Structure 1
Amino acid sequence: MSDTFLDPVQSRINAYWSARAPEYDASQLERQQRPGAEQVWGDVWTAALPPAPADVLDLGTGSGNVALLLARLGYAVTGVDLADGMLAEARRKAEEMSRAPQFVEGDAVAPPFPAGSFDALTARYLLWTLRDPADALRAWRELLRPGGVLVAVDSLWYPEGIDAAEELAAANPHDDEFRVAYDAEARARLPLAEASDIQRTADMLTHAGFADVTVDELPEIMDLDRRYGVAPGHRVQLQYRLTARA
């Protein structure tokens, strides 16, 4: 394994998400299986992705729900993540599919694939917790074939700072573990974790060499969250789709 796997900040983040994987995935699946949810999310992705069966890399795939959805829509999907617990959940669900994604252990900051391997990259809820994003985004651009596209969905989860999010902390049964994983050392490496303007993320994409960077608000996802609820420690809020081309 690369020395990247020994990075202390990333190791703490991996441990947090691995420990939470079964609970996190159950919560995600519960909302995903509500009427209309899969259609809405499918439209969010396919509106910006090239047609299937394009080759897609799902970065920070977690328990694989985006990768599995895209595979059901006909894409050739690879998912990459460092959290063993999350990958175990993803692989378990993939066993039930005839055209399953391939799930690979690897660092989203430096994905273990040759340049020009993919037509598209996807990332959901990764940018805020992405270590050293300037380096990561440059590496991502190299993975795309000419004209390839990055499609990322995220939000401004902690615009007043993680330490200031007292209301959310009270609702999160894992707050102590979260604050260990996302301590001051980690936050210094995660400049998007406490961003208060989505334009900051868009600007990082441009600085990394991406072109045609666009930001779309996703009120349809906000509506789903109002109807079906959000994960503990979160609130209903606007999410965004960021699209950029190589």
Structure 2
Amino acid sequence: MQAVSTLSNHDLRDEIKAYWSLRAETFDTQPGHEIFSEDERAAWHALFRKHLGEGEGRAALDLACGTAVISHLLDDLGFKVTGLDWAEPMLERARAKAKARGRQIRFLMGDAERTMEDDATYDVITNRHLVWTLVDPLACFREWHRVLKPGGKLLIVDGDFVNTSRLTRLLKTVTRLASRLGLARDALHGAPNSDMAETHNRILSRVHFSGGAHAPAVADLLKEAGFTKITIDQNMGAIHKAQRKNFSFFKGLERATQHRYAICAEK
């Protein structure tokens, strides 16, 4: 295998794209990705209303949309949604899901770091669990700033999954043990196999936030990219409580102790 020191960003980005293309098959089987209850759906709606308001026909761009979980939440609230992803297997499932639900969501294949969209096109940009994968987040944030209309808002949902607390690490260990004993049902929800986990860790070691995407560090880069009125919201309790019903006991506790957040910023 090629040494990490000789790999270019292009190589890394190709590996990230291939990874998520493979993950598409099981993405919607995993709690924390797809939504499995109306309580969780309502909690996500509340978070989006809090920061973005009702859609009222405003144009929203859902970056790295995957199978369109967030795109559908935005559509629920009345946004005119465009979902963008660079993994065709994800987009195939997104289009099929929208067709089955009778949703008028537009899907484009594209790169969240280089959208190719026109200046000042969107009122809202959203993404979930994208920022930690970015190779050059400052350039990416400038790109998002460019395609937002003046007064438009960006909403990032992400977390620092590297700098975990002792309690989180303990609960993760307990969850793994419970999985081996067949006591953790969430271990069966399409979790990555050992090869995929190795690929995930290899990618994580080489992206910008390899040391963890801590909210203040993300906010600092957003400010440098030109965003203002930056708000860090760590009140994700209602979402975690609803998700807990689909996790094993220890997995639910583990999630609640993680540094997960929403960041809203304005152009």
Normalising by structure 2, we get a TM-score of 0.78
Q: Note if 1:49 corresponds to 2:52.
A: yes
Residue 217 of structure 2 corresponds to which residue in structure 1? Answer: 200
Q: What displacement does 1:181 show?
A: 4.8
Separation (CA, whole Å) in 2 of partners of 1:7 and 1:202: 26
Residue 243 of structure 2 corresponds to which residue in structure 1? Answer: 225
Query: In angstroms, what is the RMSD of aligned CA positions?
Result: 2.6
Gaps of 5+ in 2: 1-8, 178-186
Contact persistence 1:121–1:144 (CA under 8 A): yes
SS in 2 for 1:209: coil
In structure 2, relative to structure 1, the CA distance for the partners of 1:101 and 1:196 (3 Å cut) is closer
Q: What displacement does 1:74 show?
A: 1.4
Corresponding letter in the other structure for 2:108: V
Q: Note if 1:88 corresponds to 2:92.
A: yes
Q: What displacement does 1:169 show?
A: 8.3
Alignment of 1:106-117 (within 5 A): 106-117=110-121
Residue 187 of structure 1 corresponds to which residue in structure 2? Answer: 205
SS in 2 for 1:86: helix
Separation (CA, whole Å) in 1 of partners of 2:192 and 2:201: 15
Residue 65 of structure 1 corresponds to which residue in structure 2? Answer: 69
In structure 2, relative to structure 1, the CA distance for the partners of 1:181 and 1:219 (3 Å cut) is closer
Sequence identity (%): 29
Contact persistence 1:12–1:181 (CA under 8 A): no
Separation (CA, whole Å) in 2 of partners of 1:227 and 1:198: 27
Separation (CA, whole Å) in 1 of partners of 2:218 and 2:11: 24
SS in 1 for 2:100: coil
In structure 2, relative to structure 1, the CA distance for the partners of 1:214 and 1:60 (3 Å cut) is same
Corresponding letter in the other structure for 2:205: R
Separation (CA, whole Å) in 2 of partners of 1:71 and 1:77: 6
In the alignment, which of 31, 37, 42 is matched to residue 40 of structure 2? 37
SS in 1 for 2:29: helix
Judge which range, 27-36 or 6-15, deviates more: 27-36
Residue 20 of structure 2 corresponds to which residue in structure 1? Answer: 17
Residue 174 of structure 1 corresponds to which residue in structure 2? Answer: 193
Q: Note if 1:242 corresponds to 2:245.
A: no
Contact persistence 1:68–1:100 (CA under 8 A): no
Q: What displacement does 1:12 show?
A: 1.1
Q: What displacement does 1:110 show?
A: 0.8
Contact persistence 1:213–1:243 (CA under 8 A): yes
SS in 2 for 1:32: coil
In the alignment, which of 84, 104, 109 is matched to residue 105 of structure 1? 109
The structure having more radius of gyration, on CA atoms, is 2
In structure 2, relative to structure 1, the CA distance for the partners of 1:238 and 1:183 (3 Å cut) is closer
In structure 2, relative to structure 1, the CA distance for the partners of 1:15 and 1:121 (3 Å cut) is same
In structure 2, relative to structure 1, the CA distance for the partners of 1:67 and 1:35 (3 Å cut) is closer
Judge which range, 73-82 or 215-224, deviates more: 215-224
In structure 2, relative to structure 1, the CA distance for the partners of 1:140 and 1:173 (3 Å cut) is closer
Q: What displacement does 1:201 show?
A: 1.0
Give aligned pairs, total.
233
Normalising by structure 1, we get a TM-score of 0.84
Gaps of 5+ in 1: 1-5
Separation (CA, whole Å) in 2 of partners of 1:86 and 1:151: 21
Separation (CA, whole Å) in 1 of partners of 2:33 and 2:225: 36
Corresponding letter in the other structure for 2:19: Y
Separation (CA, whole Å) in 2 of partners of 1:96 and 1:33: 17
Q: Would you tell me which structure has more helix in proportion to its own residues?
A: 2
SS in 1 for 2:218: helix
